[in-house]
Chain A
Amino acid sequence: MSQSYNRGLIEDFGRWREFSAGMWAWIFHKFTGWMLIGYLFTHIAVLSSFLAGPEAYTDTIQGLEGLLLIRMLEVGLLAVAVFHILNGIRLLLVDLGIGLDSQDKSFYASLILTGIITVASVPTFLDGFGGVLG
């Protein structure tokens, strides 16, 4: 017993294949949370172009909306926000002690619902691209 061996973090991300539903929900919730915080700052940056006058603001928005990348990122932003909301409701239920036995099912449900809403939103986000604004 003179010495022992510290194996460090065994369950690191390299074991992602063995993660359970609850673990994935936690990881996605953290990830989407940080994404939303990151978006908040870029959102403020874009909005503050209004300080240079209404034209500058319109130019900025039209310039950004003319980029396909931005349109695609907007779809991604919606996906991130929807998952965070749905999983947040799931966590609220978990905190209230409701349906803890089916916590994995509610995670899958929120994933599927996020997918459906995201796919359904694509036409709206790409509407008018390359036309009026471009």
Chain B
Amino acid sequence: MSTQKQREPESQEPSDGETTPTPQERRLERKESDRAVREEAADESDLEEETVLLKVFRYDPEVADKQEPRFDEFHVPFEKGMTVLDAVIYARDTYDPSLTFRHSCRQAVCGSDAFFVNGKQRLACKTQISELDQPVRVEPLPHQEVIKDLVVDMDHFYDQMHAVEPYFQSEELPDDELEEQRQSRENREKIKMSSRCIWCAACMSSCNIAAGDNQYLGPAAINKAYKFAMDDREEAELTEHRLRIIEQEHGVWRCQTQFSCTEVCPKDIPLTEHIQELKREAVKKNLKFW
């Protein structure tokens, strides 16, 4: 609409321009500014044309009409560098304030916005819209109970995480009260990747075994156990205690190396590798040929 209106004076330009020089200058000036306006309008319309179609899972147990799960569609204007989280935030702020999802830091540190995006567990704040096929399907994490929209019940995941005693518990204290409990560089390197976990539960949700066996510790918890079992500063008895937890029936041996967790981990933790290493440690602890 706006572009057509501005085009009219431009078409009259040549005939008028030849008769009087002074108005011509004025017109040239106007033409120049008109063009600038038009270009701006064109830029805006370009942006308006580029929208992202979001299909978002909706469920609300408190509203009678929304108890049946459904997918809502949102057309969100695309911006360069837009993440899935940006898009759902835009949809919530602009179209439907009742759209519910967890998010906090928006920079892949807090781990609260793991969704099932286009059939894969991803951290929404770390996933670029431009890398995804459209429409972008945003669902809550599979294999967890949905509380509302994209919010899932994380209690079970946290229970499994706490089950491996995810805290440093060495009894040996340094001589001086103010002295640090130092770790060797090599040992730090060994547990470096495992310490990157942000408790987002993407791995647990992607795991086929965890889906079928509710007692299975899951990749995140085993990775957490790895971090402390491999820590040299803890005593041998403690390490043995940790291995005893993870080698139980629903511990490391449930892993069937499908690599699903390793594939979805937003922090690129080699989860399967860590689980396999704990399996070997557990075997070494139990197999004695002498």
Contact = CB atoms under 8 A, between A and B. Distances in A.
Interface of A: 1-7, 9-11, 15, 18, 20-23, 25-26, 91, 94-97, 100-101, 103-104
B211 interface: yes
A23 B259 CA distance: 7
Contacts of A1: 147
A26 B258 contact: yes
A5 B69 contact: yes
A5 B211 contact: no
Nearest to B270: A100
25 contacts: A2-B61, A3-B61, A5-B145, A5-B146, A6-B145, A9-B211, A11-B143, A11-B206, A18-B119, A18-B120, A20-B258, A20-B260, A21-B259, A22-B260, A23-B259, A26-B208, A26-B256, A94-B272, A97-B273, A97-B276, A97-B277, A100-B262, A100-B272, A100-B273, A103-B272
B142 A7 contact: yes
B146 A94 contact: no
Interface residues of B, number: 32
Interface in B221-277: 256-260, 262-263, 270, 272-273, 276-277
Nearest to B263: A20
Contacts of A11: 142-143, 206, 208, 211
A103 B259 contact: yes
A20 B119 CA distance: 11
Given A18-B120, A22-B258, A100-B273, A2 B263 contact: no
Nearest to B283: A95
Given A4-B146, A7-B143, A22-B260, 13 more contacts: A6-B145, A6-B146, A7-B146, A9-B143, A9-B211, A11-B142, A11-B206, A22-B258, A26-B208, A26-B256, A95-B279, A100-B270, A100-B273
A25 B258 CA distance: 7
A10 B143 contact: yes
Interface in B30-81: 59, 61-62, 69
A97 B283 CA distance: 14
A87 to B, nearest CB: 11
Nearest to A30: B256
B61 A26 contact: no
A7 to B, nearest CB: 6
Contacts of A3: 61
A4 B61 contact: yes
Contacts of A95: 257, 276, 279-280
A105 B61 CA distance: 45
B116 interface: yes
A97 B145 CA distance: 34
Nearest to B59: A5
Contacts of A96: 280
Nearest to A101: B270
Contacts of B119: 15, 18
A75 B280 CA distance: 37
Given A97-B277, A100-B273, A10 B260 contact: no
A9 B260 CA distance: 15
B62 A26 contact: no
B181 to A, nearest CB: 28
B93 interface: no
A60 B208 CA distance: 44
A2 to B, nearest CB: 6
B222 to A, nearest CB: 15
Contacts of B256: 26
B165 interface: no
Given A94-B257, A95-B279, A22 B263 contact: yes
Nearest to A1: B147
B145 A4 contact: yes
Contact of B276 (A23, A25, A94, A104): A94
Contact of A22 (B59, B146, B153, B259): B259
